Amino acid sequence: MSTDPHLWLRHKARVSPYEVAFWIAALIVPYVLLPKYLALASQIAIMATFCISLDLILGYAGIISLGHAAFFGIGAYAAGILSARGWGEPLSGLLFAAVVAGLAGWIIGFMIVRVQHLALLMITLGLSFLAVEVANTFDGLTGGADGLLGIDTWKLFGIWKFSIWGHTSYAYALGVSFLIFLLCRRLVHSPFGLTLEAIRENPQRTTAIGVANRRHLQWVFTLSSSIAGIAGAMLAQTTKTVSLESLGFQNSAEIAVMLILGGTGRLYGAIVGTIIFMVARDQLSGMNPKYWYFWIGILLMMVVLFMPRGILGAMQRLAAKMSRS
């Protein structure tokens, strides 16, 4: 059977009814059915944004980073410090965080695109430790180990107050996440997105057809850092505190777990993985954290052994099998 190439490519990028249903549910379910969980829901939206930023570099471009939380934390501190120093307008705070984190990503990107394998792992790991050390050293600015206090987030658009009930927080986090998701969705279906996947698959070949690998990788790294920074800024603004842990290895490792759990290189994998991980942690929060990590560890090993493409990848394969039989 011969396929119309235009139709096939359009079909690949089309908006499916499941997607529409998902976003409508994301808007309605927390407000109507689970109003007690709005704070959790906004944290999920924030972490999902962070996870999507990791998916861009890891899932699509193939850059394995063990230190992406550094940019999340930089964004959180940027917005948090801005607010603690007297400017608490949330949207401009986001923009500020995006620029600061993006700038950091751009500078670090010069290094990232030039190394691979163990050296890449070590450099990303080292940078995340460095970020913690720096934040700890400049405790006058960051509050050090006590965390950054005194964040005051002004009313959204001058109208809606960020209350402890989380009505505004969730709308804010969901809205920003949705916009960023749309942006990333566009990116992955663009010629640039295809180029990233090609570089991940075979950098030797992309060079042979003329692609400037490093320039593309640096750009996506910058963009991804900026998005991670926005996510961090949202966390700072909605929880009104920033801790050193937001920069640290544990946060980097956890976000990678969420991504792998959902499945890399498909955007929705990042979202699904984040939802499952965060809900599970919330439900099991009564449990001693040491047991929680036992199960996280088991889960990670199981996913790698039995579902290397994540939950969505496994579901896709199952669906394909069922439709064939």
Site for other proteins in 165-184 (CB under 8 A): 183
| Residue 114 binds other proteins (CB under 8 A) | yes
| Residue 319 binds other proteins (CB under 8 A) | no
Residues 187-206 that bind other proteins (CB under 8 A): 187, 189-195, 197-198, 201-202, 204-206
Residues 66-95 that bind other proteins (CB under 8 A): 66
| Residue 15 binds other proteins (CB under 8 A) | no
Q: 273 and 58 in contact (C-beta within 8 Å)? A: no
Cβ closer to other proteins: 88 or 265? Answer: 265
| Residue 185 binds other proteins (CB under 8 A) | no
Count of residues of this chain found to bind other proteins when the rule CB under 8 A is applied = 80
| Residue 23 binds other proteins (CB under 8 A) | no
Cβ closer to other proteins: 133 or 152? Answer: 133
Residues 239-298 that bind other proteins (CB under 8 A): 249, 253, 256-257, 260, 264, 290-294, 296-298
At its nearest, how many Å lie between other proteins and the CB of residue 125?
7
Cβ closer to other proteins: 175 or 297? Answer: 297
Provide the token pair at 224.
Answer: 């991804």
